[in-house]
């Protein structure tokens, strides 16, 4: 089979080739998927550059990519949840990756039938952001009584989070750019905040739940708006070492020593605010994807695809994603 193989990490000199690659063997609890579409994620760029290499249980050469949609072409002897021909989608997990290939083999408990209302390109955009959003909202116990603030409310993760929060009946605030205010409203944001013209602290107060998809100064300022007893979930605070291990990643001794130092500031800020900090690390889950499928089919979830590239054009897709011009997800599609 053909696949995009990362042969060498690098910020400017990474070696990434579209080459013949051995089709993985199929285990009894696994399925083989004929890949139709793959959505790019920021983590793909970070992985290409080698940023998470100390966590990965493998080294180059390997195949990048984690968000995919396709069809099942083979099932292991122990698989009963899926059948050959099923249209599916999956988040491979950082411990597997391999989505930028013609075929991928995954444990069946990471794969679910995809929403019938979505094309392969749209469905490929949903797994990782959707699982992130579900994990965060569940951690915040978001329901119809909740006041919710989502930073980056029309981004890949934020755009799903605001829709799910709205569907739960929450009062939703979100920070967005000037040109995205109406789009945010259409996704269920009752109080869009133009971060270029307003400080969110002046608009969103006494929040039950804040979801930080931005990090940096935005996270630091978020402690001013969460109420005592509330929750701040963040994609930009590293999880505990044990959580990395559960996700199939490595947690070397020096990282175990560093993590408490790295997280000391956010943990202290949470304690001062009387709130709880929840680092978000998504793990593959067929059960989570099945929840997303139900949400996507009724009342519906929307994803925004900015541009679809031919499957062999991963380099051009990366360039477009890094250009800052993409207003939505970037996708590779097989012809």
In CATH, what number is assigned to the domain containing residue 241?
3.40.50.720
Q: Quick check: is 176 in a domain?
A: yes
Q: Which pLDDT score, from 0 to 100, does residue 331 have?
A: 98
pLDDT tens readout for residues 214-236: 999 999 999 999 999 999 999 99
The 3-class secondary structure across the chain, one letter per residue, is CEEEEEEECCCCCCEEEEEECCCCCCCCCEEEEEEEEEECCHHHHHHHHCCCCCCCCCCCCEECCCEEEEEEEEECCCCCCCCCCCEEEEECCCCCCCCCECEEEEEHHHEEECCCCCCHHHHHCCHHHHHHHHHHHHHCCCCCCCEEEEECCCCHHHHHHHHHHHHCCCEEEEEECHHHHHHHHHCCCCEEEECCCCCHHHCCCCEEEEEECCCCHHHHHHCCCEEEEEEEEECCCCCCHHHHHHCCCCCCHHHHHHHHHHCHHHHHHHHHHCCEEEECCCCCCHHHHHHHHHHHHHHHCCCCEEEEEECCCHHHHHHHHHCCCCCCEEEEECC
Q: What is the share, in percent, of the chain residues with pLDDT greater than 90?
A: 94
Note whether 265 and 139 are same-domain residues.
yes
Q: Is 298 exposed, middle or buried, given 0-12, 13-18 or 19+ CB atoms closer than 10 A?
A: exposed
For the chain, the average pLDDT equals 96
Q: Which pLDDT score, from 0 to 100, does residue 251 have?
A: 95
R_g of the chain computed on alpha carbons: 20
Note whether 263 and 326 are same-domain residues.
no
Does residue 324 have a pLDDT over 90?
no
Note whether 232 and 104 are same-domain residues.
no
In CATH, what number is assigned to the domain containing residue 104?
3.90.180.10
pLDDT tens readout for residues 138-185: 999 999 999 999 999 999 999 999 999 999 999 999 999 999 999 999
Does residue 12 have a pLDDT over 90?
no
* Residues spanned by the domain of 216: 129-279
Task: Look at phi and psi of residue 141 and say left if phi exceeds 0, alpha if psi is from -120 to 50, else beta.
Answer: left
Q: Which pLDDT score, from 0 to 100, does residue 298 have?
A: 84
255, 302 contact by CB (below 8 A): no
Note whether 258 and 156 are same-domain residues.
yes
257, 61 contact by CB (below 8 A): no
pLDDT level of residue 113 (50, 70, 90 thresholds): very high
pLDDT tens readout for residues 196-214: 999 999 999 999 999 999 9
More confident residue, 109 or 335: 109
Note whether 204 and 275 are same-domain residues.
yes
Total of domains in the chain: 2
pLDDT tens readout for residues 275-313: 999 999 999 999 999 999 999 998 889 999 999 999 999
Does residue 40 have a pLDDT over 90?
yes
Backbone angles phi, psi at 146, to 5 degrees: -90, 140
Q: What is the share, in percent, of the chain residues with pLDDT greater than 70?
A: 100
Note whether 137 and 260 are same-domain residues.
yes
């Amino acid at each position: 089979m053909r696949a995009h193989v990362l042969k060498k990490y690098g910020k400017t000199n990474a070696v990434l080739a579209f080459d013949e690659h051995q089709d993985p063997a199929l285990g009894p609890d696994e399925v083989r998927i004929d890949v139709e579409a793959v959505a790019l994620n920021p983590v793909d760029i970070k992985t290409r550059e080698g940023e998470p290499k100390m966590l990965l249980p493998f080294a180059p050469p390997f195949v990048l990519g984690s968000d995919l949609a396709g069809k099942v072409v083979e099932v292991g002897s122990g698989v009963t949840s899926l059948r050959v021909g099923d249209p599916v989608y999956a988040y491979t997990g950082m411990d597997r990756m391999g989505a930028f290939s013609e075929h991928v083999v995954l444990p069946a408990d990471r794969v679910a039938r995809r929403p019938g209302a979505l094309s392969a390109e749209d469905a490929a955009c949903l797994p990782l952001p959707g699982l992130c959003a579900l994990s965060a909202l569940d951690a915040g116990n978001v329901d119809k009584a909740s006041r919710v603030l989502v930073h980056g409310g029309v981004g890949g993760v934020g755009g799903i989070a605001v829709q799910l929060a709205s569907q739960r009946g929450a009062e939703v605030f979100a920070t967005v750019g000037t040109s995205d205010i109406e789009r945010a409203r259409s996704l269920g944001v009752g109080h869009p905040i133009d971060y270029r013209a307003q400080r969110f602290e002046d608009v969103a107060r006494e929040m039950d739940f804040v979801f930080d998809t931005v990090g940096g100064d935005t996270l630091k300022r978020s402690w001013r708006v969460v109420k005592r007893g509330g929750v701040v979930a963040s994609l930009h605070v590293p999880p505990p070492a044990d959580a990395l291990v559960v996700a199939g990643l490595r947690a070397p001794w020096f990282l175990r020593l560093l993590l408490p130092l790295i997280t000391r500031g956010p943990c202290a800020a949470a304690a001062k605010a009387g709130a709880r900090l929840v680092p978000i690390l998504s793990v593959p889950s067929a059960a989570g994807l099945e929840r997303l499928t139900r949400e996507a089919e009724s009342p519906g979830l929307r994803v925004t695809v900015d541009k679809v590239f031919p499957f062999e054009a991963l380099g051009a897709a990366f360039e477009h994603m890094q250009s800052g011009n993409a207003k939505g997800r970037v996708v590779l599609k097989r012809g």
